[in-house]
A and B are shown apart, each in its own frame.
Chain A
Amino acid sequence: DAGVIQSPRHEVTEMGQEVTLRCKPISGHDYLFWYRQTMMRGLELLIYFNNNVPIDDSGMPEDRFSAKMPNASFSTLKIQPSEPRDSAVYFCASRQLGTNTGELFFGEGSRLTVL
């Protein structure tokens, strides 16, 4: 398996623009997580899905953020409109419940810069 795949790896955009980040989890994994990492706030959980259904979105900072998982192999995180304070690295991770360790597998991240 290729692991968790995220795109784009880098995105530079201007304030007010819409940003869409994409994630393909590992096949067969039933949980998908979106995290945001900044120097100031560390690694924050934004939202997670179980079997494509959002379970907890309490970490989503505000209504400008939305996430979807239309099927088991694809998820998006959208920011509209984007602001400079949204600049961060966004990670997607997946896991399979029922495995011995329940470990999370992370993608390489999408580095977002909002000017």
Chain B
Amino acid sequence: EADIYQTPRYLVIGTGKKITLECSQTMGHDKMYWYQQDPGMELHLIHYSYGVNSTEKGDLSSESTVSRIRTEHFPLTLESARPSHTSQYLCASSDPGTANTGELFFGEGSRLTVL
């Protein structure tokens, strides 16, 4: 069973607020990802990281930013939230390079609503 945790699970905030979505994994995975998913729609990759101090933009442009200071931690930040940011944000990690199967494990998601 995967050990990847996201907080908060649900967040309702007003426009203009700064928010940080937390993601932590205890599996020692090097690679971590953030996906965005609107209700009933596809997942889109917005950020990923190969390891500490590595961050890359994903396929879908996003105003959010990420950091990877520790292997186990990959937070996502929105400096000024807007209603268009309302969505579900899913964090994932993949298994160590030595195993190299590339299997992806997901957290439970953070559902963000910006009023």
Q: Do A and B come from one complex?
A: no
